[in-house]
Structure 1
């Protein structure tokens, strides 16, 4: 299976690097958020940034995304669009993250090209993860490992799921859901290639939060 294809954007497989940080935007990226993103990315190593907004049309989403995409590109951080293959195509994004029901991996690959990074939410399901891998996903995301302030989830996998995945598959795995610098160690030790975090960074001092993650990764 292929690993994440975005080496120019700083994303590496676990064989080349330890667990890395994957930032997810808050729903509100207006106001001073571009400056906050700059501070976060300049504070420590970040592999990828996921643009996640809701309840706006594609034109407005593109307007909000473009300055953030520029900030990421200047720092070799992969810019991933949440849910929308069409928006990822419009922006020329580095990839798309698909929730269950947001589209098929094959459709995303056809629209975005062979070098796009396509991730799939798999909740706590081994079956969904294996299915995503068979379809050509570049990474699978498991969670929510902890209660999340960003998105409610009824799924609560154990860290052992990451260990199982690492023992059988080459495709990187992402741990998501309520992750903080204080609780992430079991996930890293279990084999998470990336920690996807949002509120732990954006609810306070984003630069200090990134530095705190850097100290434990």
Structure 2
């Protein structure tokens, strides 16, 4: 034995997806307080389909609230407007979208990808320099894999591959399970925005839950 130890992996962080944005003003006003409540690594801005100029204007209206809080701003799709909008990257769905977006995003911006139905697709995304892979989000029909299947995929990826993996959590319990499975980030959306306590309180609660779940992982597994 060499005696070499594996460093403990960092605590997972939150990845917050916005509702679909048509008018950015209310969200831009509320985001600073929401983001102050928790450790948010990135915000995924979901834009209402419109002309490029309007979508760029909407992203620019949200950018200060997100980026001044130390979070990366990613746009869902629309990699063609990322640079002009001052965003940090894009989240793509599927390998074809990733391939199309890479020339405009690399090397300076983030290219994340979801919609990866198979292990082979996931490995291909990693080989093509995706900055992270997302597991567990809804498909076009609103369906998701089982929680066990998502956790299994996260565990498989975390054990074997270097790029970060993200688990989409629809409930607090899922967030905890995905942390235990090895997720580097936990993506949340409706779980936060639909909470009766308000998004800041909901986000803070999830942040605390994933930190507690991380602390409960035995050191041998966390490394």
Q: TM-score range by the shorter chain?
A: 0.7 to 0.9
Q: 1:95 to 1:52 in 2, by over 3 A?
A: same
Q: How far 1:115 moved relative to its partner?
A: 2.8
SS of residue matched to 1:159: helix
1:104 paired with 2:98, answer yes
Instruction: Give matches, 1:117-196, under 5 Å.
Output: 117-144=110-137, 152-156=142-146, 157-178=149-170, 180-196=171-187
Distance 1:111 1:123, change over 3 A: closer
Q: Report if aligned partners of 2:57, 2:85 keep a CA contact under 8 Å in 1.
A: no
> Structure 2, unaligned stretches of length 5 or more?
1-6, 211-223
How far is 1:174 from its partner? 0.7
* Displacement of 1:53: 1.6
Q: Secondary structure at the match of 1:32?
A: helix
Number of residues paired by the alignment?
198
SS in 1 for 2:91: strand
Q: 1:189 to 1:79 in 2, by over 3 A?
A: same
**Bigger RCO (CA 8 Å, 6+ sep):** 1
Shift of 1:177: 4.8
Q: Distance in 1 between matches of 2:36 and 2:71?
A: 11
1:124-177: CA deviations, max 9, x gaps? 421111010011111001113xxx6x9813544331111111111011001115
Q: Which residue of 1 aligns with 2:219?
A: none
Residues 18 and 119 (structure 1), Cα distance of their counterparts in 2 relative to 1, 3 Å cut: same
**Is the contact between residue 36 and residue 206 of structure 1 (CA under 8 Å) also seen in structure 2?**
no
1:84·1:102 contact (CA, 8 Å) conserved in 2? Answer: no
TM-score by length of 2: 0.80
* Corresponding residue to 2:89 among 74, 87, 95: 95
Query: In structure 1, what is the Cα distance between the partners aligned to 2:96 and 2:54?
Result: 19
- 1:5-42 Cα offsets, whole Å, 9 max, x none, are xxxxxxxxx96621110000101352521122122111
For structure 1, the 5+ residue unaligned runs are: 1-13
Q: 1:77 aligns with which of 71, 74, 94?
A: 71
